[in-house]
Amino acid sequence: MALRPGVDIDVVTGQPRETREKAHRTQQRAHAEAYVQQGSRVRAALGSPEGSVLRQTIAQLLSDRIDQLMHQDERCIVLLDLLSQWTNDLQVGRRMAVALMAELEEP
């Protein structure tokens, strides 16, 4: 005697798989809607004057963290050293140009 197809059962819950999947989709949708609502509240709060202070604080924390990570990364260290050296060279060049201009202007 051949078995006929029946209801697909979720082994863990014992419920029909279709019911379990539908409940899971409903739960995911509810989480997504809550996430969107929370995001809207956060955006509204960040648009306020108090939010401006929070944005600046977050930006500073992010900047500090990026600086910290850059100084731990060997490639960044080399690149920062190169930029620093070029900046120093440019500053020396500017100082020399200013000194030469001052000499030329002296009677």
Residue 3 has pLDDT above 70, yes or no: no
What average pLDDT does range 3-9 have in this prediction? 68
pLDDT attached to residue 65: 93
* pTM for this model (two decimals): 0.40
How far is it, in rounded angstroms, from Cα 41 to Cα 89? 49
| Residues 36-83: tens digit of each pLDDT | 999 888 888 888 888 888 888 889 999 999 989 988 999 999 998 998
